Amino acid sequence: MDRHDATPDNSNGGITPFTFSGPALAECRELMTHYPGEFSKSALIPILHIAQADNDGWLSVPAMDAVANLLGIQYIEVYEVATFYSMFHLEPVGKHVLDVCETAPCMLRGSDDLIEHIEKRLGIKAGQTTPDGMFTLRAVQCLGSCGGAPMLQCGAKYHEHLTIEKVDQLIEQLRGKETRTNYTDHIDTPAENGTTASA
């Protein structure tokens, strides 16, 4: 067995096959030129990011299968990477995913209070998505920006040295944003309290 069955839980209702949009496929093909022939698997992570952004922010089984077919690799090779990294979502998520680091350095600088505040403000618990589909809140492990503690990641951007006020500002900014926040976003101008994620 090397392929998951598509079910309603993992594949946009279980009936919708995933196909890359034209621009996403062009971006994938350009990326693959950097990893020719037997090295195609090295493009897996960036192509998973593109597929995720192209599938409303999450990786369904058909989306992962399409990545495997595109790269000419085994389905299991895609599943094992997609299930390892927290930046890949295996179920639908909100338009903006707030990943708040809760590891010791951030915890000592108040991440627990931030998580509690966001939970109250959004009316959800960590791990949940708001009913309007705008926000998913997650408590995650160290994101490698301990010097900016406490911090959270939203898409490609790190928001560091957070306070309750900064978190409130960020939530309001995101509420007014029409497009989904993706890990593939290109950030030309860092926000006042944000830096580009290295992951």
> Do 70 and 47 form a contact (C-beta atoms < 8 A)?
yes
Cite the DSSP H helix spans in 155-195. Answer: 164-175
Nearer to ligand FES, 96 or 159 (CB): 159
**Is 162 one of the binding residues for ligand FES (CB under 6 A)?**
no
**Element containing residue 122 per DSSP (H, E):** helix 111-122
**Is 146 one of the binding residues for ligand FES (CB under 6 A)?**
yes
**Is 143 one of the binding residues for ligand FES (CB under 6 A)?**
yes
Binding-site size for ligand FES (CB under 6 A) equals: 11
- Indicate the residue type of 180: R
Which of 105, 121, 133, 196 binds ligand FES (CB under 6 A)? It is 105
Q: What is the dihedral of CA 174, 106, 101, 194, to 10 degrees?
A: 40
Which of 53, 71, 98, 149 binds ligand FES (CB under 6 A)? It is 149
Task: Tell me the three state secondary structure of residue 192.
Answer: coil
Nearer to ligand FES, 68 or 140 (CB): 140
> Do 94 and 130 form a contact (C-beta atoms < 8 A)?
yes
Nearer to ligand FES, 7 or 141 (CB): 141
**Is 152 one of the binding residues for ligand FES (CB under 6 A)?**
no
**Is 6 one of the binding residues for ligand FES (CB under 6 A)?**
no
Nearer to ligand FES, 152 or 171 (CB): 152
Nearer to ligand FES, 98 or 143 (CB): 143
Q: Which stretch binds ligand FES (CB under 6 A): 15-23, 59-67, 103-111, 121-129?
A: 103-111
**Is 106 one of the binding residues for ligand FES (CB under 6 A)?**
yes
Burial of 74-94, coded b for 16+ CB within 10 Å and e otherwise, reads ebebbbebbeeeebbbbeebb
φ/ψ (deg, to 5) at 14: 85, 0
CA distances from 132 to 53, 95, 123, 124 (A): 19, 9, 11, 11
**Is 151 one of the binding residues for ligand FES (CB under 6 A)?**
yes
Site residues (CB under 6 A) for ligand FES?
Answer: 101, 103, 105-106, 142-146, 149, 151
